[in-house]
Structure 1
């Protein structure tokens, strides 16, 4: 079962209640997840630099919606009746739809691709970190360490379509990895991520 680490104060704030450890363990048990660890209860002698206390929560392997802080908060709030179940709707964009072109060259490698534009989202530093952590959890679990699926996230204000999904020779790939400044080709990327 995957374990998700969430900020304790943020989660209790999102749930609208300060729980004792026993109360939160009971809520988790009733919902079908398990509190693995409350880092605020750890032996202070074993701690390094002070960090915000976290709750490490084990979630079922088939509940991808629970692999992040926001999913756990939403699910628990729905479970205790503080929120109604989410109702997502697809809306047509007001501007011309973006285009993703899938080239035949991908057929033997990864023949499928999907894209979505999320609008009306404001990222704080911690929200963005949670979003990337969710992406990493999906890569580790559902995507089988990126062997089945690879997810990319991009700021739409920094790129322009139409977008192309194609298989290229490693030397023809030019890319700047997340949190890096150096552009790399496909071979350099493989070496970079191998480390």
Structure 2
């Protein structure tokens, strides 16, 4: 069960109420979450390294929540606050839409057959006109880390790459090359490395897949490291998201979670720009963002859960958990 830390100040602001620790604990319980710990960076450092090391550390109160293993939408502040706001009837569940780009020309990722024996699948999308703040940026990076640790199984099933679209040019090509043919500047490094040298730095994978833009700029070497050239900054306005995978189902879920969580910060909230992936199997448009319709019957549901509620009460309860009707 993953644990997510959110600042008390941030969640109270998002919920438009100053909760006491006890009140927030009760709200989490009602929603189905567990408030595991109330702490701060300062307290954590004191506990592990002593007071001397903690001088100058952030004393902001942090709520650490235990998140159910299948609730990837609750791995960031955006998802937690959105879920709680709907639960509290402060907002309706958002409707997520995948739209064609205003230019009429989708970003394209071409999957070369050479990737078949390494990481054969890829998905892509664009977050257009997003606004980052330091807090949003940190949350964006942390969500990717949480997805990598959990759903993506330490990048073995899915590797996420996010790039400043204004620094690169499509169409993009995903291929597998001999390590001596790959050379680029990895994220937060000062010089270029060959893939052989990179494996000495990042020895968690023996494979050498690589993604290039139309000008030969390397975006990433999944699942090892992203490139420095296209890294996201606070000034980034347009984000190109690519994910390579050995499991297509997990890739689609990871893409849906990332774009639905952070499309909140786009000029057109909850609208995601489509991208196309051309693989040896054909063309596919992402994100798919599938909705499905389910019918539930009050007597059967009451019997299974062990309650006795009316159709309207059940429908209202489901609506508070982000099910639309």
Same fold (TM over 0.5): yes
Shift of 1:99: 1.2
State the match for 1:62 in structure 2: 70
Residue 119 of structure 2 aligns with which residue? Answer: 110
**Map of 2:298 onto structure 1:** none
Seen in structure 2, the aligned counterparts of structure 1 residues 175 and 3 have a Cα distance that, compared at 3 Å, is: farther
Among candidates 47, 50, 63, match of residue 57 of structure 2: 50
What is the number of equivalent residue pairs in this alignment?
195
Q: Which residue of 2 aligns with 1:75?
A: 83
Aligned equivalents of 2:192 and 2:45: distance in 1?
Answer: 42
Separation in structure 2 between the aligned mates of residue 44 and residue 141 of structure 1, nearest angstrom: 25
Q: Matches of 1:156 and 1:100 in 2, distance apart? A: 13
User: For residues 88 and 27 of structure 1, what CA distance do their matches in structure 2 show?
Assistant: 26
The change in CA–CA distance for 1:180 and 1:83 in structure 2 (over 3 A counts) is farther
- 1:103-142 equivalent positions in 2, closer than 5 A: 103-142=112-151
Q: Which residue of 2 aligns with 1:11?
A: 11
* Deviation of the 1:42 alpha carbon: 4.8
Q: Alpha-carbon deviation of 1:8?
A: 1.4
1:35 alignment partner in structure 2: 35
CA deviation digits over 1:98-151, x for unaligned, max 9? 211000011111110011111121111221111011001111101100111100
More strand by share: 2
In the TM superposition, residue 179 of structure 1 has moved relative to its aligned partner by: 2.9
Tell which structure's C-alpha radius of gyration is larger.
2
Q: 1:100 maps to what in 2?
A: 109
* Unmatched segments (≥5 aa) in structure 1: none
Cα distance in 1 for residues equivalent to 2:91 and 2:44? 36
CA distance in 1 between counterparts of 2:45 and 2:122 reads: 47
In structure 2, relative to structure 1, the CA distance for the partners of 1:45 and 1:185 (3 Å cut) is: closer
TM-score of the superposed pair, with normalisation by structure 2: 0.57
Distance 1:181 1:20, change over 3 A: same
What is the TM-score normalised by the length of structure 1?
A: 0.92
Distance in 2 between residues matched to 1:9 and 1:125, nearest whole Å: 15
The alpha-carbon deviation at position 193 of structure 1 amounts to 2.9
Q: Secondary structure at the match of 1:5?
A: strand
Per-residue CA shift, 1:28-47, capped at 9, x if unaligned? 11111111111159599645
Q: Which deviates the most, 13-22 or 175-184?
A: 175-184
For 1:44 and 1:163, how far apart are their aligned partners in 2? 43
Task: Give the superposed CA RMSD.
Answer: 2.0
State the Cα distance separating 1:174 from its structure 2 match.
2.5
